[in-house]
Amino acid sequence: RCTNTIVIVNSVSQLNLEVWIDHPNVVGVVWSGLPGSEYGPAIVDVLFGDYNPGGKLVFTLAKRESDYGTDISPTHNSNYV
């Protein structure tokens, strides 16, 4: 049983992290977006501390769905603020 789990997320947009973010084994999250051909070596460098990733996301990641101010899965008849 692993007690130190680092979650690596490959996604182009927000996700609901609520299901697993508070799990006691999750000690970190790396958001890698859509990685390219050098993803393997790059993520190894990050996980082993040889490189400190930086940058800014173009969207906000909330811990819970209720942290968003509006519907995060809009439909054709959703009301937007």
**Are residues 44 and 6 in contact, defined by beta-carbon separation less than 8 angstroms?**
no
User: Is residue 51 predicted with pLDDT exceeding 70?
Assistant: yes
State which residues form the domain around 58: 5-67
Which pLDDT value is given to residue 74?
Answer: 58
Average pLDDT over residues 47-52: 92
Least confident of 15-19, 61-65, 76-80: 76-80
Which pLDDT value is given to residue 75?
Answer: 61
In a domain, 75, yes or no: no
In a domain, 76, yes or no: no
Return phi, psi of residue 5, to 5°: -105, 130
**Are residues 6 and 48 in contact, defined by beta-carbon separation less than 8 angstroms?**
no
In a domain, 53, yes or no: yes
**d(C-alpha 59, C-alpha 33), whole Å:** 12
User: Is residue 6 predicted with pLDDT exceeding 90?
Assistant: yes
In a domain, 73, yes or no: no
Looking at the structure of the chain, the number of domains it has is: 1
